[in-house]
Structure 1
Amino acid sequence: MHILKSISASLVALTVAAPAIAETVTIDLWSRADRSGPLRAGNIVAAAEQLNRVFEAAGSETRVEVNLIETNAKGFDADALDLLKAHSVGDTPDIAVAAHEWIGSFVEAGLAANLEDHIAANEALYSDMIPSLWNSVMYKGERYGIPQDSEIRMFFVNNDILRAAGYDQTFIDELPGKVEAGEFTMYDWCDLAADAVNKGAAKIGWVHRPNVGPDFQMAMASFGIDIYNEDEAKLQITKSGLEKYYGWLKYCVDNGSLPADMTTYSWDSTHAAFRGGSALGKFHGIWNVGAQMEAFDLSGPEDYFNKITWIHSPPAEKGGAPKNLSHPIIYIVGETENKDLAAMLVAMASQHVPNTEHAVTTNHTPIMYGQTAMPKFQKEGWALIAGTPMLEFAEFMPNHAKIGQYNAITYSGVQAVETGEMTPAEATEMVIEELEVELGDDVIILD
């Protein structure tokens, strides 16, 4: 009821401020033509329809019309570059759907509006937001976007392989808690996987993604590598942490838990290793659940969690904190004359009902805690509900345009170490040098 009153009060304020004469306000909405997430734009269109009903009920002749600028960009990075180009020639949209790591570039270009005042003025509309998600829209300590969805990337563990290796149900049940308590480390993980292989319960210990991507960030974070300096809005790296991270990968290859040729795998072979029952573990994302259900012929949540356990990326050392990764898509509001109205449409589209329609149909975790209690989530989103508490330990990609280059360079060290071409120390030196050459002033070398 408190939220409904807040929405009503905010919309009445917009109505009172609306011109007495008939006017149609056009809100330009920039969004990729994304069949996997049509409600990212669709919920804004629906919010405009809702707002028009409010205007009509209030006797105002003002109406809102959404002009959808649907692009054909192949990915969010390409789309962000197109958006910046449009802004540079004066075609700034009022709202845009974007990957969160581009916020810094949008702010520096003068494209994204600061939303701190909007959020403060509409506190009830955002009070249920999962707090950690706000980190994804921060730039230099202030919020320039609203999280549109979220996800969790974690380690999947095949319980049947653990049982075949002699581990009882108590061990399986206690494993997630031991990870969160800092009692089970990254080295323990590799030892566990190696033991499963040595006992013949698994053909492969564990697998990771076979190419460049953000998943590795959660493993790096487990080794204390904070890759973003928020105060200076620059990427950063710790040489000592990087060498420990590469040293852990070498440890896993040497003890037989991680394939030395992992970086030559295809995605099909990577998925097949876990879904086919050959590998004890895999780290990737929650959207894998559907394919896992089908591959293992599982019938529901009880069946699923009897078969598979989720854990965070464990800490590097006992007593440390675990990590995982989330990569939210966000709404930004353009620095335009319509920004206040655009921000209200974003707020309306971000509420529990519309966001749940998007989240459940696209296998994304919610942005509001209360969504997990909604009937649609309870019925169709059991995996998403189970994953939501894991957001407490979530890391996010830095809001920096060169994170893709950074990931590619650090991944070259992963390849070199796992294949045995370089020692961890040699790979660290190579990566540090490449980061300095390619990123220049955009990266800080901490030690």
Structure 2
Amino acid sequence: MSQKPSSTYLIVGLIIGLIIGAAIGWAVTPKGVPEEEYNAVVSERDALRSELDAIRPEYEALKALVGTLPTDGVITMSAWSAGSPVDYYRAENLKRAAKLLETLLRGVGLNITIEMDSYYEHVSDWGAWKSKFASAFEAGEAPDIISGIDMVEAAEAGWIVSVDEYYAKYKDLLADIPEYLWDAVKYKGKMWGVPQDVASQVFYFRKDVLRQLGWSEEEIEALPDKIAKGEVTWYDLAEVGKEAVAKGLVQWGFFHRPNWGTSLEIPYYLAGGDFYDVETGKLVLDKSALKDMFTLFYTLAQVDKVLPDTMIGTSWREIHMGFVNGRVLFWLGGSWHWGEWQKVEYHETLGAVPESYLWENVGFALYPALEKGGKAGVTTGPWKYYICSQSKYPELAFLICYFATIPPYDTDHALTSSHLPVRYSTLNYPPFVEKGGFLYKVSTFVAKHGMSKPILHPKWGILKDMLLEHLVKVEKGTLTPDEAVESLVNAAQAELGEELIVRE
């Protein structure tokens, strides 16, 4: 296939030039034209200029891309996306974006068809997902776009390419995605992905159970604010959980995730700990924060008996059914679960619950402080699309990833999955404004209290496995919090050596 000649640029440029020329021409007032008519023309010119400014980044992007693509024929691409049962727009939006980009490219003279095979998988075993991708890569059959793998590992292995070149080329076009999200795709001074959505942890509670405990509506509605101010702590809520269990209103006070994840790290962060040192690029264990974290989970499981000591390894379905059916008072979850409960049949009577049921029976807040007056908070960060190094069209793949988050597509994914929008403009997009009440509220407290804690180290997976192993022993009571801290630190030092910083 031949390459598109430079005359295409001239044609597209001529169209833009004609628009500009017309706008400028209208600004010259002929003699005898009434002032009212002249002002109307000026207003129309200004509106036209605004529209031109709005489309200029897209025009510049297409102009830059045209010369790298064939003039006609079929471009075949593929993408693998993963997530929860309700994250399927991660794949669907790539197909939509490919068709949108195809239409735009045809508008500048390329007679091409983009065939996007966009695959989605509900993944609970992320190790298996990584192995599946690694096998495809080894066979030379990797997709053009991948998500759901560790960015640092993928970059070090050469599975994905840096997007620095494309970020610089299309920077004006990309400004609608907040800078802090682009910062989150950086490793060793380079960018490695395109932000797709924003995840935030959410601490959920059952309003209906609190009502049965005698709480007034005013007290229930005030709980999130009291948690945010540090007036209500984890240990205060443990007492509420004990009361609810003792009265037979719930089976358990608390549930958390069945494997290691960010929601389990939040108490450690709220205690002042970090797992990664930005300056040195090394992993970190803060012994004081570790003790606070282990003490919390030991207290919940072994002292107050409001958390099962078998949480790790429990099926996700059992966990969600426990909370959605009101057998658990507090759930250490994420914003996306709000959407999942409306799509997956967890409720034993209602099946997938309507959002009205959630507003009536479920409340949400920050993760509580560990002590009175302490800090409450949540973690937040982007899901990412990556461009595989085996892709024949990496620049095209990059733009497809970007167009997959335009406000209509961003909104569909946000409202379906309950992940936060990735773009500024989506927050003002009418369909999102109309239906995104939950996400708007979560976005508000994320803006005030959100923490971004990327851990950009190739051996983070090793340390996570050690943390999980010791958490299991703490919750089962085979190690005290102090014993767990010492055991974990010793094991991590032996395994990680100079790659680990230990703080008292």
Shorter-chain TM-score: which interval?
Answer: 0.7 to 0.9
* Whole-Å separation in 2 of the counterparts to 1:254 and 1:73: 34
**Aligned residue among 438, 446, 468 for 1:411:** 468
**Structure 2 counterpart of 1:433, one-letter code:** N
Deviation of the 1:203 alpha carbon: 4.4
Deviates more, 1:173-182 or 1:379-388: 379-388
Task: Classify the secondary structure of the residue corresponding to 1:65.
Answer: strand
Measured after TM superposition, the shift of residue 356 of structure 1 is 2.7
Would the alpha carbon gap of residues 138 and 78 (structure 1) be closer, same or farther in structure 2, given more than 3 Å must change? farther
For structure 2, the residue ranges without an aligned partner over 5 or more in a row are 1-50
Change (3 A) 1:292 1:29: closer
1:342 aligns to 2:397 (yes or no): yes
Tell me the residue number matched to 2:55.
Answer: 4
When residues 219 and 25 of structure 1 are mapped into structure 2, their CA distance, relative to the original with a 3 A threshold, is farther
Higher relative CO (CA 8 A, sep ≥ 6), structure 1 or 2? 1
> Which one is further off, 334-343 or 145-154?
334-343
Distance 1:349 1:264, change over 3 A: closer
The answer as to 2:474 corresponding to 1:420 is: no
Question: 1:38, CA displacement in angstroms?
Answer: 4.5
Asked if 2 retains the 8 angstrom alpha-carbon contact of 1:222 and 1:322, the reply is yes
Distance 1:3 1:386, change over 3 A: farther
Cα pair 2:195 2:422 within 8 Å, conserved: yes
Which residue of structure 2 lines up, in the alignment, with residue 311 of structure 1?
Answer: 365
**8 Å Cα contact 1:139/1:230 also seen in 2:** no
Alignment: residue pair count: 442
The corresponding residue for 2:197 is 149
CA shift in 2, pair 1:182/1:349, >3 Å: same
- Secondary structure, counterpart of 2:176 in structure 1: coil
1:168 aligns with 2:225: no
Give 2:323's aligned residue: 274
- Residue 281 of structure 1 aligns to a residue in which SS? strand
Provide the secondary structure at the position in 2 that maps to 1:149. strand
Aligned to 2:106: 56
Contact 2:194–2:398 (CA under 8 A) maintained in structure 1: no
Measure, in 1, the Cα distance between the counterparts of 2:433 and 2:500: 44
Structure ID, larger Rg: 2
Matching residue's letter, 1:313 = Y
Contact 2:207 2:363 in 1 (8 A): yes
1:12 is aligned with what amino acid? K
Return the offset for 1:216.
0.9
Q: Distance in 2 between matches of 1:351 and 1:185?
A: 39
Q: Which SS does the other structure have where 1:422 is aligned?
A: coil
Equivalent residue for 1:140, pick from 185, 188, 191: 188
Task: Return the alpha-carbon distance in structure 2 between the equivalents of residues 228 and 406 of structure 1.
Answer: 11
Give yes or no for the alignment of 1:46 onto 2:96: yes
Match of 1:151, SS state, is strand
| C-alpha distance after superposition, 1:86-117 (max 9, x if no partner) | 65677675x422226x1112222344333345
Q: TM-score, normalised by structure 1?
A: 0.82
Q: Which amino acid aligns with 1:410?
A: L
Q: TM-score normalized by structure 2?
A: 0.74
Contact kept, 8 Å, 1:208 with 1:284, in 2: the verdict is: yes
Amino acid at match of 1:13: A
Code of the aligned partner of 2:367:
S
| 1:286 and 2:341 matched | no
**C-alpha displacement at 1:417, in angstroms?**
2.0
CA gap 1:3/1:232 in 2 versus in 1, 3 angstroms: farther
Alpha-carbon contact 2:294-2:474 (below 8 Å) kept: yes
Amino acid at match of 1:52: E
**Contact 1:218–1:395 (Cα < 8 Å) also in 2:** no
For 1:260 and 1:49, the matched residues in 2 are separated by 49
Query: Which blocks of at least 5 consecutive residues in structure 1 are unaligned?
Result: none
What is the CA–CA distance in structure 2 between the aligned matches of 1:163 and 1:38, rounded to whole Å? 36
